[in-house]
Amino acid sequence: MSEPIRILNLFTIMNRGGAETMVMNYYRAIDKSKIQFDFMVHRQERGAYDDEIEAMGGRIFRMCPIYPQNLFRYQQMLKEFFDNHPEYQILHSHMSELGYFAFKEAIKHGVPVRICHAHNTPVFSSETAIEKLKRIPRELLARQMRKLSTDYFTCSQIAGEWLFGKKNSKKLIFMRNAIDAQAFAYNETKALRVKADLDWTDKFIIGHVGRFCPQKNHNFLIDIFKVFHSKYPNSILALVGSGELQGKIQEKVKNMGLDKDVCFLGNRADMPNIYQVFDVFLFPSFYEVLPVSLIEAQASGLPCVISDTISDQTRLTSAYYPVSLKEKPEQWVAQLEKCMEMQHADTTAMIKEAGFDIYNNAKWLTNFYLNKLS
């Protein structure tokens, strides 16, 4: 029996972010007798998914962070890596324009397939002048990345057009942010058990899943909950995730006197269980493309109250309620109130019909990789 083709995935670190979670969904479902995933990461510390990757037979190679002061060292490390690893014929980068350096070295070593994958866009309406200036180097690297990539993968039209340019829109290859729909299906018995374990019985739970970063708009999220909680004191806001702004948000929660009512759950390995206990999913991001968490929330049968800046491609069920970020917290609360009497629905069939179940998508990806080398 021939050895599986080893795909080298490029990431910053394998923590529980959206792109990382999506790739792990594919990794679990893919036929490992044909395809095996390895990872080049750019942090020395271990990521949340590292143990699982290694348990499935994946290898993890650690590089230095891609900081300006590290570029010479990084380029030397890349040369040494490709000198020692001629087995990699397919690179799949999930680092947006920062995959440029690895792709440039891969070309020198004759790597024939270089997939660049667009997962997001850094542009949002409230961007400041300084933030726009910071984005210029990214856009310059993105233009170079287009020349080095053999295949343009994306989760959505808007993400693909940002990274690869509108003139390349017909070359885009759509890889869905697929999930195991059955794993997230609502189960009342499980929900009651998990609620009891968390001591949340008889509480109304507003849930949010996302990294603590400016994009996710946690400040406004807390403002919404403050208004909601003043009307419904038996409510809890459950925040899943971690990130650089977590400390500031925790401080804001404490200053508002909400520290007993806002629960910081950190990164969780049991997300199918956690979604079971939410009563509504609140997601006021400044911008999103196709967030995995919103797909998971809908697969769990939750009503979702989200910002109207999020791509309508994420609308997979009828319980999907966009609200403008220009509205005050009171308007968001009014929409949350409309969701209070709603029950979890069984949306498994809807998710599969929309093409977001992982198993068919994993077969598609396997065939794509195999055909590229045939």
At residue 28, the pLDDT reads 97
Q: Tell me the fold of 181-353.
A: Rossmann fold (3.40.50)
Residue at token pair 């994958």: 117
Residue 126 pLDDT more than 60?
no
Q: For the segment 38-54, what is each residue's pLDDT rounded down to a tens digit?
A: 999 999 999 999 999 99
Cα gap 125→270, rounded to integer Å = 34
Of the listed ranges 49-58, 128-137, 208-217, 224-233, the one predicted with least confidence: 128-137
Q: How far is CA 328 from CA 86, 125, 225, 232, 335, in A?
A: 56, 17, 12, 18, 12
Residues 6+ apart with CB under 8 A from 146: 116, 152, 163, 164, 165, 168
- At 345, the amino acid letter reads A
What is the reported pLDDT for 140? 84
**Lowest mean pLDDT across 130-134, 185-189, 340-344:** 130-134
Per-residue pLDDT tens digits for 65-80: 999 999 999 999 999 9
Banded pLDDT at 120 (limits 50, 70, 90):
confident
Position with higher pLDDT, 17 vs 329: 329
Interval 1-11: pLDDT, tens: 589 999 999 99
Among 240, 217, 338, 331, which residue's Cα sits nearest to residue 292? 240
Q: Position 258: which residue type?
A: L
Name the band, by pLDDT with cuts 50, 70 and 90, for residue 228: very high
Find the mean pLDDT for residues 215-243. Answer: 97
Q: Rounded to an integer, what distance in angstroms lies between the CA atom of residue 281 and that of residue 152?
A: 32
Mean pLDDT of 337-355: 92
Task: Return the CATH superfamily for domain 5-178+357-372.
Answer: Glycogen Phosphorylase B; (3.40.50.2000)
Q: Which residues make Cβ contacts (< 8 Å) with residue 26, sequence separation at least 6? A: 178, 358, 361, 362, 365
255-290 pLDDT, tens digit each: 999 999 999 999 999 999 999 999 999 999 998 888
User: Would 5-178+357-372 and 181-353 be classified into the same CATH topology?
Assistant: yes
Q: What ranges do the domains of the chain cover?
A: 5-178+357-372, 181-353
| Apex 291 CA angle, 7 and 367, nearest 5 | 30
Count other C-beta atoms under 10 Å from residue 327's C-beta: 15
